[in-house]
Structure 1
């Protein structure tokens, strides 16, 4: 997997990530599957499917979302964070800690 990196700037700037086409395709494919899972769960609710079965599908969807987050986090760390650190921008460490804390909230 190719690393991504973000344009540097301040927290409220228009920074962008730069993912390879392969990574974008992978993430888009995963998100499309997740979108389908969500539609399926909605259908299950509408059809009064047994709660435990719905919860199982919710857990699978959450796991799929976590996989997307892991890919993005790895690219961010190896690309954006490393680049900003090499430029002397230590503020990126605080930003990264906040990002990880957001992902760990459940």
Structure 2
């Protein structure tokens, strides 16, 4: 299964944002920043990674379910609804 590069663009943006946030966490620890500030930044990076992962999973699941729906003539699926379901588990 291959994922649509257009759908992955927002995922890549999220991952790049998380990469920047993780770099900031490392610098904050090295600079001896306040624990609460480090935790806040680490939490933001973690959420960005979670959202990227759920988006990839939702895209893959949508592709699989859409193929199944097309075989059964059931119509289309709502990708945002699938992603929202995954995010509700986070």
TM range (shorter): 0.5 to 0.7
Counterpart of 2:13 (choices 6, 13, 29) is: 29
Deviations 1:39-97 (A, max 9, x none): 1100000100011110111111111111111211111211135647x89xxxxxxxxxx
State the number of aligned residues.
Answer: 74
Q: Aligned to 1:54, what secondary structure does the other structure show?
A: helix
- For structure 1, which segment, 72-81 or 39-48, has the greater mean C-alpha deviation from structure 2 after superposition? 72-81
TM-score, normalised relative to structure 2: 0.67
Matched residue, 1:15 = none
CA distance in 2, matches of 1:42, 1:81: 40
For structure 2, the residue ranges without an aligned partner over 5 or more in a row are 72-85
Matched residue, 1:44 = 28
Matched residue, 1:54 = 38
CA distance in 2, matches of 1:31, 1:75: 16
Structure 1 or 2: more helix by fraction: 2
For structure 1, the residue ranges without an aligned partner over 5 or more in a row are 1-5, 7-17, 88-99
CA distance in 1, matches of 2:61, 2:8: 17
**RMSD in angstroms over aligned alpha carbons?**
2.4
TM-score, normalised relative to structure 1: 0.58
Q: Aligned to 1:34, what secondary structure does the other structure show?
A: helix
CA distance in 1, matches of 2:32, 2:59: 40
